[in-house]
Amino acid sequence: MKRASLVALLLHSLLIQVIAFLVRPAVSYAALDLGAPAVSVGAIGAAFALVPLLLALVVGRLVDRRGERVALLGGSALAIVACVALALWGHAIVGLLVGTALLGAGHLGCIVGQQAVVARSASAGGLDSLFGYYTFAASLGQAIGPLLLTLGGDGVRPDTRLLFIIGGVLALVLMPTTFAIERRSLANSGLDAHGGVSAWMLLRSPGVARAIATSAIVVAAVDLTVVYVPALGAELGLSAAAVGAVLAARAVASMASRLLLGMLARRLGRGRLMVTSLIVSSIGLIALAAPLPFWALVAIAVVLGLGLGVGQPLTMSWLVEQAPEGQRGRALALRLSGNRLSQLAIPAAAGALAGFGAGTSLAAVGVLVAASLLLMRGLRLDGDQQSS
């Protein structure tokens, strides 16, 4: 992959995450300003995840047939439209709901398109490294987005209309960035031989369903860490600053592990590294259930971040190599659908244990991550010399 194209891809990844992680909290603030009850705020937030569930396979099929650029351009355009709609009609619940749904669709198009670019651009043996750099850029964007909320003012409630406008300006930058990403030659897409493969047949391809399930569990574990560590800190009497430090330690460790992913995969082998990351993540989550001092929580968060940070890009590499030629866009879209479904279902199940304490919910997720090791049994990942 040419350097200019790689830089454009990483910038595109960073920008769409900045937009999403700036605009979504701003939508929540706008809903609260309207006096919306918690149920309505939750429904608006869920619209972002529900849209990919409905459209992911359509977008994946489009990428396989027409190339990544159509999804990248469409996603960028929808992000612009979403921010404009929110700036103009964000003073009403319906406007917030529609704007969030449009943003979810735009985010979907960008993510599937970006991941498909990585999948077809990586050189032999470079897939893990490129997915590592890609997810690092995404993580950086997810860290920058919330920081931009301060541009809305220093009050308890920011100026959400200004934040929507800032999001729209950033979305405008996505368009020229898209054209700098190397375009795929459709003549070599290999789709003609596989165009009729259904989603069910794709899931039955060796390793595909297991890769999607593992990815969904890892993504849910990351989300639940963000949700339950603040609750755990409150139970332990930690300040908000201390909780922020714990979450920041996990995030920084994840970013570091992604930069080193290629080297780690070459030294350990993808299968061994995947198993190690799942074991480390499960131990870290279960350890959080114990009443620990602040310094120990930070240390565990670093270990947890290393494990979870490796898991996400590795499942992408795994899935890409297991998916049939010409069906990678659809496979990546299925992965995204699985992730969104897990983000809706697993938190609900973990919430049932919240009455026993936040630590119990985190430990339960740790057990689930450990159980995902069963998905690795007898599986030989491409590029590994040993079965995992």
CA distance 141 to 12: 10
End-to-end C-alpha distance for the chain, whole angstroms: 30
Quote the pLDDT of residue 206: 65
Quote the pLDDT of residue 185: 59
Quote the pLDDT of residue 193: 43
Task: Give the residue with greater pLDDT, 348 vs 241.
Answer: 241
Mean of pLDDT over the chain: 83
Question: What average pLDDT score do residues 95-124 get?
Answer: 89
What's the DSSP call for residue 34?
T
> Residue 29 — very low, low, confident or very high, per pLDDT cuts 50/70/90?
confident
Whether the predicted pLDDT of 388 surpasses 50: no
Quote the pLDDT of residue 37: 75
Whether the predicted pLDDT of 195 surpasses 90: no
DSSP 155-201: SSS--HHHHHHHHHHHHHHHHHHHHTSPPP-GGGS--TTTTT--HHH
Which ranges in 34-159 belong to alpha helices (H)? 38-66, 68-89, 93-121, 127-147
CA distance 172 to 267: 41
Quote the pLDDT of residue 150: 84
Whether the predicted pLDDT of 191 surpasses 70: no
Quote the pLDDT of residue 123: 63
> Residue 357 — very low, low, confident or very high, per pLDDT cuts 50/70/90?
confident
Contact assessment for residue 249 and residue 295, using Cβ atoms and an 8 Å cutoff: no
237: left (phi over 0), alpha (psi -120 to 50) or beta: left
Nearest-10 Cα torsion for 326, 329, 332, 336: -150
Task: Count other C-beta atoms under 10 Å from residue 100's C-beta.
Answer: 28
Quote the pLDDT of residue 209: 80
Quote the pLDDT of residue 384: 45
Quote the pLDDT of residue 79: 97
Quote the pLDDT of residue 379: 60
CA 147 to mean position of chain CA atoms: 18
Quote the pLDDT of residue 39: 64
- Buried residues in 170-208 as b, exposed as e (16+ CB within 10 A): bbeebeebbeebbebeeeebebeebeebebeebeebebb
What's the DSSP call for residue 91?
T
What residue ranges define each of the domains in the chain, with the CATH number in brackets?
3-181 (1.20.1250.20), 199-376 (1.20.1250.20)
Quote the pLDDT of residue 227: 66
Question: What average pLDDT score do residues 331-342 get?
Answer: 81
pTM of the model: 0.82
Question: What average pLDDT score do residues 251-268 get?
Answer: 88
Quote the pLDDT of residue 50: 82
Contact assessment for residue 130 and residue 338, using Cβ atoms and an 8 Å cutoff: no
CA distance 177 to 103: 18
Task: Count other C-beta atoms under 10 Å from residue 16's C-beta.
Answer: 29
Quote the pLDDT of residue 94: 93
* pLDDT tens for each residue of 121-178: 766 568 888 999 999 999 898 888 888 888 887 666 788 999 999 999 999 999 999 9
Nearest partner of 63 among 339, 333, 340, judged by Cα: 333
CA 344 to mean position of chain CA atoms: 14
Phi, psi torsion values for 23, nearest 5 degrees:
-75, -40
Contacts of 163 (CB under 8 A, 6+ apart): 22, 23, 26, 148, 149, 151, 152
Nearest partner of 103 among 164, 185, 173, 182, judged by Cα: 164
Quote the pLDDT of residue 8: 95
Contact assessment for residue 353 and residue 362, using Cβ atoms and an 8 Å cutoff: no
Question: What average pLDDT score do residues 10-17 get?
Answer: 96
Quote the pLDDT of residue 107: 94
Quote the pLDDT of residue 311: 84
- The one-letter amino acid code at 229 reads V
Quote the pLDDT of residue 54: 83
* pLDDT tens for each residue of 295-309: 999 999 999 989 988
Structure token digits, residue 385: 């010399």
Question: What average pLDDT score do residues 264-284 get?
Answer: 89
Q: What percent of the chain has pLDDT over 90?
A: 31
Contact assessment for residue 99 and residue 85, using Cβ atoms and an 8 Å cutoff: yes
CA distance 276 to 286: 16
Quote the pLDDT of residue 108: 93
Contacts of 316 (CB under 8 A, 6+ apart): 115, 118, 119, 131, 135, 215, 332, 335
Quote the pLDDT of residue 117: 92
* pLDDT tens for each residue of 197-255: 566 677 776 677 887 888 888 888 887 787 677 778 878 887 767 877 888 888 888 89
- The one-letter amino acid code at 14 reads L
Whether the predicted pLDDT of 287 surpasses 60: yes
CA distance 229 to 263: 30
> Residue 19 — very low, low, confident or very high, per pLDDT cuts 50/70/90?
very high
